[in-house]
Homo-oligomer: A and B are copies of this chain.
Amino acid sequence: MPSVTLKEIAETLGISIATVSKALKGYPDISESTKQRVQELAKSLNYHPNSFAQSLRTQQSNLIGLIIPEIVHHFFANIIQGVIDEAKKEGYLVIVLQSDESYIHEKEQLQLLLEKNVDGILISLSDKTVHYKHVKEVIDAGMPVVLYDKISKSLDCSKIIIDDRGAAKDATTHLILRGCQKIAHISGPLKPQTTIDRYLGYKDALKEHGISFQKELVYTSENLSYEDGYALGEQILIDHPDVDGIFSFTDLVATGALTKIREMGIKIPDQVSIMGFSNWFLARITTPTLSTVDQPGYRMGQEAFKQLCKEIKMTKDQEIILPEIIKIPTKIVQRQSTR
């Protein structure tokens, strides 16, 4: 390990690691005698002065890239933390990039990471991404790539996912079993697979319980925002005053709907039950608190890194990688917004 050697030099000479680093780079504010002592010892220990040289020798950078659509987002922030914690255990550092839900950024960032010679890449696809050639090229080049959360079925690499369809079915079933008979669904734009799957899970639950699906009970939040939920909460109850359950595809939108419906003087959960999806922190502090599906971001981050790390080692050993699909289990968290 390079760090040990740098440390060894410092300890042997009784100087700081920083001074050793500086001396090896030839900084002008280190005395010539110190530079000479450091450089001679480094040479005798066959020490390579920096991680670039080290990397050039081993072709390992011990860096991975993590492309995330949105950093200021409870679920994704948990994923970042899971990845970083797990990477630390294996001696990897993580370059974090935000695609900002932009296909253009995502494409540029993959190239940047390729140039930076990272050992592997974790990526959750942006909602705007509909062509996957840019990812496919990187995979085809032998770079270990693991997709997490927002994936594309057409890409041939390992994927770490939540069983969104099953979880959404559980959430809707929870409403049905607690007596809801007319359940509306707030969905997002049907682009990422996660949103499609949650919509399908809602339909699955209705079907299983003999409730006929009504297209007019499905509403779309275009901006995935609190404000969208606030507006849609009202809209749903104006259009269908007899709706007694709402399943929203994400907590933030559910929170907006819950607030507006409460403000309208409608009792939650007595008259309308509301179910979210994600288990953001905010679900614990709304009035009433929000029942939801716990989507374990931290665990997803850990599993994504573990899989990537495995594939980095296999690539190094020239082993063939057979892509795996790992499903992270979810669970229903019942709070006050459902009966």
Give residues in A with beta carbon < 8 Å to B: 2-3, 6, 16-19, 21-22, 25, 27-29, 50-53, 55-56, 59, 61, 63, 71-74, 77-78, 80-81, 84-85, 88, 93-98, 111-117, 137-138, 140-143, 226, 255, 259, 262, 281-282, 284-287, 318
CA distance A282 to B280 in the complex (A): 11
Given A3-B111, A114-B18, also A63-B285 (CB < 8 A): no
Q: How far is the CA of A18 from the CA of B111 in the complex (A)?
A: 8
* Residues of B contacting A16 in the complex (Cβ-Cβ under 8 angstroms): 137, 140-141
Contact yes or no, A138 B18, CB < 8 A: yes
The residue of chain B having its C-beta at the shortest distance from the C-beta of A139 within the complex is B18
Besides A6-B115, A85-B98, A285-B286, 16 other A-B contacts (C-beta < 8 A): A16-B140, A17-B114, A18-B143, A19-B140, A25-B59, A27-B141, A27-B142, A52-B55, A52-B61, A63-B116, A71-B77, A94-B97, A255-B285, A259-B285, A286-B287, A287-B287
Residue of B nearest to A16 (CB): B137
Contact indicator A226/B285 (Cβ below 8 Å): yes
CB distance from A271 to the nearest CB of B (A): 18
Instruction: Assess whether A95 is in contact with B95, with CB atoms less than 8 Å apart.
Output: yes
Query: Which chain B residues border A3 with CB–CB below 8 Å?
Result: 111-112, 115
A18 touches B81 (CB 8 A): no
Do B115 and A18 touch (CB < 8 A)?
Answer: no
Residue on B nearest A84 in the bound complex, by CB? B98
Among B17, B51, B96, B259, which residue has its beta carbon within 8 angstroms of that of A116? B51
Among residues of B, the one whose C-beta sits closest to the C-beta of A75 is: B72
Distance (whole angstroms) from the CB of A22 to the closest CB of chain B: 5
Select which of B63, B72, B262 is within 8 A of A95 by beta carbon: B63
Contact A93 B97 (CB under 8 A): yes
- Do residues B84 and A80 form an inter-chain contact, with CB atoms below 8 A? no
| Distance between Cα atoms of A210 and B21 in the complex (Å) | 56
Contacts of A143 in B (CB 8 A): 18
**Nearest CB on B from A23, distance (A):** 9
| B-chain residues with CB within 8 Å of residue A95 when the two chains form the complex | 63, 93-96
Is the pair B282, A281 in contact by a Cβ cutoff of 8 Å? yes
Assess whether A72 is in contact with B71, with CB atoms less than 8 Å apart: no
Q: Which of B51, B73, B74, B137 touches A115 (beta carbons < 8 Å)?
A: B51
CB within 8 Å for A53 and B56 given contacts A18-B138, A93-B95: yes
Query: By the criterion CB–CB under 8 Å, are A142 and B29 in contact?
Result: yes
Choose among B27, B80, B93, B112 the residue that contacts A71 (Cβ–Cβ < 8 A): B80
Smallest CB separation, A197 vs chain B (Å): 25
A57 nearest CB neighbor, chain B only: B52
Flag if B142 contacts A111 (CB, 8 Å).
Answer: no
Q: Which of A6, A17, A74 has the most CB of B within 10 A?
A: A17
